[in-house]
Chain A
C-alpha cells in the first residue's frame, strides 16, 4: 500500500521523493511505517512519500522510476536496509530512469533502527534518519564516475601454478603479461608434488603443460630471478621497478647434486625445482614496467616444525610430508616390498596430521613472531591419504598408521581417497589437540620409534605403535612477502594471508583497486582450487582492462581553489602516496601553491578534510555542508 502525498514544489526546485520499505515486516514490525511517512511528508523539499512491502522488488523500483519520469522528483531518498546491501540497486534504478545516480541518499532504518529498537522510539529514530537523509539529498550535486585510462597490460607476481595459469588466461584474452618469478625456475611448489588428488595425475605433467603454454605465448614475458623493488601508481597505470640478478651459487635442488644452469635446456623439468624458462641473467639489471593491473600469485611455503615437535630434528626418522611427497614424486613407478627412505626399508610408518595447522592458543607454541596458524591448511588430509594409498599399492608390506584430529577430505573425489586408504588397510587413530601423539625413540625392540596416542576411537585408551618412520603432515604458511605488502599496502588477514574484499561478493580482489589474488597467497588451496582462483583473477583483470579505461566511484577529495592557502598539511596527513600533491598555479597573474588531488589514487577517507585549516577540501558526495545539514535535520526532527 502507499500514501501518495504531492506537494507543490516551488519553482524549478529540488523535489525529494521518499521511499520507505517495510522489508516484509523486518522494518514494519517495529517501525510504524505509516506514521514515519506522515512525520516526514511536510519536510522542506519533500515532493512525494511512498511505502512498499519490498522497495528493492521490481514494483518498488518502478515506483521510483515512474516518479522520476513523470518529473515528480529529482532527488531520491530510500529508507530501508543497510546501504551495503541495496544502495547500488537503487542507484542503478535511478540511472535507468535517466537521472544522475548520485542524486540519491540512503537511510538505514533496518540494521540501525528496527533490529535494535522497538516501539515509538524506533519510529522516532527512523524519522530523524530520514529527515537527515532529506537534508543531505537537497544538497547533493550530480557527480560523474572517475574515468582512468588503463594500460592493456597485466603483471603476475609469482610463476607457480596459479601465476602460470593466470598469465596464460590473460595472454589469451589479448593482454600483454609480465610474469615475475623470484627463483630461476617456474612452476613453484607444484614442481615438488607427486600424484594430485583427485585425478592421480603426476604434478610434473600438469605443471610442465601449463608452463609450456605460458612460454609459447608471445604476449607473456617471463622474468625469472626477478623481484619487485618499486611500486607506484594506480589502477590502469601502475609503475613497477624490477630487479633481476644472477642466482646465488649454482642453484641446488633439494637433492644432493647441484645443478648447473648452463646444462639445462629451455622447458626442461627439474624435480623439486621446476621448469627452466630458458635463461639466467649474468649480471644485475633494473627493469621498469608500466602495467594496468597486478595479480598476486606469491604462493605458500610449508610449515617447518619446531625442533622436537613430534621428534622433528631429534631423529632423522621424523620427516615432513613435503619431504616424503618429493621422495615418492621422484620415483612414481617404483615398486617393491617395502618403501625405502634414506636407504632403509620402512616396515611401518606413521602419519601425523595438523602439524602447524589448526593451532590453539594455550596448547601450541607460537613462532618467533608470536603467531599461531589457527587455520586449517585443507590440503594436507588429502595429500597424506594420497601418499598413503600410493605407498600401500606400490609397497604392499609397508604398514601405515594415520593419526588425525579430523579427516577433512572436503573436495570432489577426496572422500574416495580416504575410503581407498581404509580399504588398503591404513589404520587410523584420532587424537584431541590437548593430547597429541608422543613420538619417542624406542629403547630396544624391533622398531626405532614409538608413537603413543590417547586414541578417542578406542574410547580414550592409550595405544602404542612402534614404527620405522614418522611423517608430519605439515600445513601451509603464506610466502613471506613483507616488503611487497608494505610497498603495495596490501591488506593482510589475521592468518597472515592476503585478504580479499569479501569471500563471496568479491573473492579475488583486494581493497586496492587493480590488485587481484590468485592461489595460495590468499588461503590454503590445492592445485585445482589455485587454478580456479587464478582463472577468476584473470577474468576479473581482463574485464577491468579490456575497455582501455576504468571507472571509479567519484567519492574523492576536491580542492576549493578560492580557499586553499597551500599549507601542505593535507599532503602530510594523506595516507596514500601521490594522492595529494602541491602544484603551482597562476591566479590573477600571481603564482600560488595549491593542493591538487589525483582522483584515481584518492580513497575518499576524509583525513585531509579534517586537517585543512581553511576548509578548502571536501569529499564529493560527503561534503561538510551536507553533514551539517544532516545533523541539524536530525536534531530538529
Chain B
C-alpha cells in the first residue's frame, strides 16, 4: 500500500500564502542552488512534492521547512516561477498550525477576521482590566508603580509566562514527535545497554544522544549561525537585521516578564546602569530591525520581502508599535507627565499583550524555539542512525 494522494490539501493551504506550488514541475533547480540543502535533508523540492500530493503526514515529519532561512535564491532560479522560497515560508506557517493542538494558530493564519478580532479582543481585555482595577492615578508626580504596581504586574506576567510556555512547549512536543518520526526506524540497542539510565529510549533514540547534542540547540538558539551561511552580502545583512530583532526582543522579554521589578521603576537609573543600557539596546535593535523590515516589505526590495502574508504585517506592526509606545512612556516619564504616562502605559500593554499571547505559542514567534529545536533534532537523528556502528 502506497501513500494516497490528497489533492484538496494544496487548495486549503492557499490561505497560508502557498499560491504557486502547483506550477512546480519538479526539476530540482531550487535544491541544486540552495546553499543549505544537503543530501540528508534536501529542500525545497522534496517538501513541495509532498505538498503537491497532499501527503500531510510526510509534511509534518519533514524538518526541511525549518532549515530554510529564505534567502530567495531558489525563487530567483525557478524556471516555472513557482516561488519555492515563498512556498517554504507558507509551509512554516502551515506547520506551525499543524503542530498547534488548540486550532487557534490555523484560525489566526487562515482567517483575517479572526486575526484582527483576536488582537482587538485581547487588547480590549487588557484595557478593561486597567479600567476596572488600576491603582490611584497620582498627578503630582509620575507614579507608575502606584498606578500599576510592578509586583502585581509581575504575578500576571508569570501567569502569562506559564500559560504561554505550556502552549508553546506542548506544540513543540508535537513537532518533536513529527520530526523524530517512527521510533522503529532507529537502530535498537542491546538489552544490557538499554538498562543504563542514560540509554533510555525517547522516540526510539537513547537519551544520551539528546544530551550529547544539547550544545547544538543552544548555539543555534543564540546565534542563528546557519542564517549567515546562506552566503551573499545581502543575506548577511538580513541575518544582522534578524539578529537585532531577535536579541532585542529576547532582552526586553526577559526584562519585562522576569525582571519587571527592576525594569518598571519610578526613579531613573543612572545612564550606565545595566538595566537602562539593556533597555536602550533592545529599543534600538527592535526599532531598527522592524523599520528595516517594514520598509523592505513596502518597497518589496528583496525576494524575501516580495510576498507578505497579513500575519507578517500584524507581527511587524505590533512589535514596532510596542517599542514605539515604550519609548513614549520613557519620554513622558522624563517630561514628568503623569496622566500621559498612565494612558500610554495602558496602550503599550494593549499592544504588547496581544502580540505575546498570539505570536509566542501560535504564530511567528514560535520559530524562535522551532528552528533551533529542529536543527538540534536533525543532528540527533543523524547520530542515532550511526549509533551502534
Contact = CB atoms under 8 A, between A and B. Distances in A.
Interface of A: 348, 399, 401, 407, 418-419, 422-423, 425, 427-428, 430, 452, 457-459, 461-466
Given A425-B10, A452-B2, A463 B53 contact: yes
A567 B354 CA distance: 113
A464 B3 contact: yes
Nearest to A420: B23
Contacts, number: 52
Contact of B46 (A422, A423, A459): A459
Nearest to A458: B49
Nearest to A466: B4
Contacts of A459: 46
11 contacts: A348-B7, A419-B80, A423-B23, A425-B7, A427-B53, A457-B49, A458-B3, A458-B53, A462-B1, A464-B2, A464-B3
A459 B50 CA distance: 11
Nearest to B23: A422
Contacts of B50: 458
Nearest to A348: B7
B45 to A, nearest CB: 9
Contacts of A425: 7, 10-11, 22
Contacts of B170: none
Q: Name, among A422, A428, A464, the residue most crowded by chain B CB atoms within 10 Å (CB to CB).
A: A422
B80 A463 contact: no
Given A425-B7, A425-B10, A464-B3, A419 B49 contact: no
Given A422-B24, A425-B22, A458-B53, A464 B1 contact: yes
A428 B7 contact: no
Interface residues of B, number: 19
A452 B22 CA distance: 21
B10 A462 contact: no
Q: Name, among B1, B5, B22, the residue most crowded by chain A CB atoms within 10 Å (CB to CB).
A: B5
Contacts of A399: 7
B229 interface: no
A461 to B, nearest CB: 6
A461 B2 contact: yes
Interface in B257-312: none
A428 B23 CA distance: 10
Nearest to A467: B5
A401 B22 CA distance: 12
B26 interface: yes
A348 B7 CA distance: 10
Given A425-B10, A458-B53, A463-B53, A419 B5 contact: no
Contacts of B10: 425
B22 A465 contact: no
Contacts of A464: 1-5
A353 to B, nearest CB: 14
Given A419-B80, A427-B52, A458-B53, A463 B23 contact: no
A461 B7 CA distance: 17
Given A423-B23, A458-B3, A463-B53, 6 more contacts: A422-B25, A422-B80, A425-B22, A459-B46, A463-B3, A463-B5
Contact of A463 (B2, B25, B46): B2
Contacts of A407: 25
Interface string B183-212: 000000000000000000000000000000
Interface in B1-47: 1-5, 7, 10-11, 22-26, 46
Contacts of B26: 428, 430, 457
Ordered nearest first, which 9 A-B pairs have the shortest CB separation?
A462-B2, A422-B23, A457-B26, A464-B2, A464-B4, A425-B22, A399-B7, A463-B2, A465-B5
B332 to A, nearest CB: 55
Contacts of B5: 401, 427, 463-465
A458 B3 CA distance: 10
B53 A428 contact: no
A465 B53 CA distance: 10
Contacts of B22: 422-423, 425
A173 to B, nearest CB: 45
A407 to B, nearest CB: 8
A428 B2 contact: no
Contacts of A466: 4
Contacts of A348: 7
Interface string B365-381: 00000000000000000
B156 to A, nearest CB: 48
A407 B53 CA distance: 19
A428 B24 CA distance: 10
Contacts of B23: 419, 422-423
Contacts of B80: 419, 422
Contact of A428 (B1, B3, B11, B25): B25
Contacts of A462: 1-3
Contacts of B2: 452, 461-464
